[in-house]
Each structure stands twice: as structure tokens, then as C-alpha cells.
Amino acid sequence: MSLRGKDLLSVHDLSLADIEDIFALAKQLKTERKQGIEHHLLKGKTLGMIFQKSSTRTRVSFEVGMWQLGGMALFLNSNDLQIGRGEPVKDTARVLARYLDGIMIRTYSHAEVKELAEYANIPVINGLTDLMHPCQALTDLYTVLECKGELKGRKMAYIGDGNNMANSLLHTCAKVGMHISVATPHEYKVNEDIVKEAKADAAQSGSVIELVNDPYLAVKDADVIYTDVWASMGEKSKWQVRWQALARFQVNSELVSAAKSDAVVMHCLPAHRDEEITAEVMESAQSIVFDQAENRLHVQKAIMALLMGA
């Protein structure tokens, strides 16, 4: 089934075939870029990028990616839009849809992204909400595929806060048949509705989903160890409480040694070194953190081309 004209709000909405199409095109575009081959699949098209949360990787990868595809990206800070002054989301959606060929939005409320997609008759891409981070999760598993050669039957251990990243990794692993063990404190567990959705997909794909409170149990036999910051944007005031709950979930050399000897370590960045992950592990030979960061460009180009292309 073609992705053309559709939205990407959650990986749960994608089929396995959709994910395979994204990965195949990402590989092709990455190879062509390395060879200096131009691929103007979105020539003459424009992407509007709405940012209510600041970002390094999201802004640069989407903006550069759109340019490499032959199109143009517009940076739209929410303070510069009428949506930041109280205009209803549905009004902004219908106006932007008459100017643009696609919208990427990075914001707080997932409901706001769903409303934007409901009223905009052009593709809407979720660049991040407090609930989900689908583009990052797709990038992560594409990176694992590059590194390990296959996804089905491999095991990922997610360690730390049960945040939007954990939610989207649950969705994505469950779709492709990759096992995932999520280790979080009781206070910061993953969203229960997301777990139900992921388990439904896992029943079809053969993925095994584990929710534990012991990071050492999670990393046993893991091919991939993944972590993220302990306090996301808007949660800094709760830092001290979070640190106390999450301190034993740090990804350090001792924890990494409890996984498979060839396990790789991932982090979606930005990283707070020596908090959720040690500098030693970040800079180790097992870290593929910066391969992840690069692949945001290639995977998101594939997403844009498939949703917005001819």
C-alpha cells in the first residue's frame, strides 16, 4: 500500500510493508548521496516545519533533507504563527494546507498534532510530541538493521525513563519482530495504552515485550542498549526527584558488559554525559550514537519522499 498523501503520526499506524519501504528508500538515498548522485524527488515542493520545541537534529535533518530532495523547507516558530496567539489549530491547518505540500510539527501535545492532521489535507509528520517520536524510532531501527543485518529476533534493551522515545521504540520493535525489554522505575513506566498497542502488534510479528524494573535483567542477551535523557523539555524543574529515581538506570561500562559482547549502544541525543550515560560508553567502540544522528537525514528523506512525492 502506498504511503503517498498519508500522515506519519505514530509508527503504530504503519504496516510492516510501509516500514520496509521507508528503510529500502533510505538505503537507496543514502547510497546515492555518498556517490554524489542527486535525487530531486520533491522538486518544487515545500515543507512547513512548525517548532514549539527547539531542536538541533530535527530542524537540520528535515531542512537539509528537503533541500537535497529538490524542495524547500520553511522554519515556522510557533511564536511567529497565529497559532501562538490563540488561532485554533484547525484554522492554521486549513490555511497552511493551501500553501504547502507537507507539514512537520515538533510540539508538546500529541492531540494537537492529531488535530492538525485532521484538518490539513496534506501529509503531516510528527517530528516529536510528549507521547511519541516516530521518526527517531524508525531511524534507530534502520541503524540497527545497518549494523546487525537483521531486526527480527534481535533484542533491544531500553533503560531509563518511560518517555516518548520508549513508547515509539515499543511500537517499532513490535512491528518488525524485534524483542524489546524496557527497564524503568515504577514511577516512570511507559504509557499503558502504548504497551497494549505494541503487544497486539507483537502477537502478529513474534516480538517479545518485557517490562522490568531491573536494568541488568533488561540487558541480558541484548544486541542493543538504548537510553535517553532523564528529564525531557519542560521537565527540568523535576530534575532532582527524577535523578534519585533513575540513578541506578545509568548506562555505564558495567551495565554494558552484562549484555552480549557485541552489543551496540544507542542514544537519540542530546545526551547528558555521566548522567543517563557515561562519557566512557558514549565514546566507546560499541557506541553507534552518531550513526543514528546521521541516519535521521536519510530516513526522514525517505519518509518525506514517500508521503509527499509523486
Annotated catalytic residues are 106, 133, 136, 228, 268, 296
Does the annotation list 56 as a binding residue?
yes
Taking the C-alpha atoms of residue 210 and residue 182, their distance in angstroms, rounded to an integer, is 6
Does the annotation list 228 as a binding residue?
yes
Taking the C-alpha atoms of residue 181 and residue 198, their distance in angstroms, rounded to an integer, is 12
Does the annotation list 185 as a binding residue?
no
Does the annotation list 106 as a binding residue?
yes
Report helix angle 16-34 to 164-176, nearest 10.
Answer: 100
**Identity of the residue numbered 289:** V
Closest by Cα among 125, 1, 141 to 58: 125
Taking the C-alpha atoms of residue 87 and residue 137, their distance in angstroms, rounded to an integer, is 31
Helix (H, G, I), strand (E, B) or coil at 257: coil
Does the annotation list 215 as a binding residue?
no
Radius of gyration for the chain, computed over Cα atoms and rounded to the nearest angstrom: 19
Does the annotation list 268 as a binding residue?
yes
Does the annotation list 233 as a binding residue?
yes
Does the annotation list 282 as a binding residue?
no
Query: Are residues 131 and 197 in contact, defined by beta-carbon separation less than 8 angstroms?
Result: no
Does the annotation list 61 as a binding residue?
no
State the DSSP code for 79.
G
Query: Are residues 266 and 143 in contact, defined by beta-carbon separation less than 8 angstroms?
Result: yes
Question: What cell was used for 144?
Answer: 540497527
Does the annotation list 31 as a binding residue?
no
Does the annotation list 173 as a binding residue?
no
Taking the C-alpha atoms of residue 13 and residue 7, their distance in angstroms, rounded to an integer, is 9
| Residue 70, phi-psi category: left (phi > 0), alpha (psi -120 to 50), beta (remainder) | left
Residues in the annotated binding site for carbamoyl phosphate: 55-58, 82, 106, 133-136, 268-269, 296
Residues in the annotated binding site: 55-58, 82, 106, 133-136, 164, 228, 232-233, 268-269, 296
Residues in the annotated binding site for L-ornithine: 164, 228, 232-233
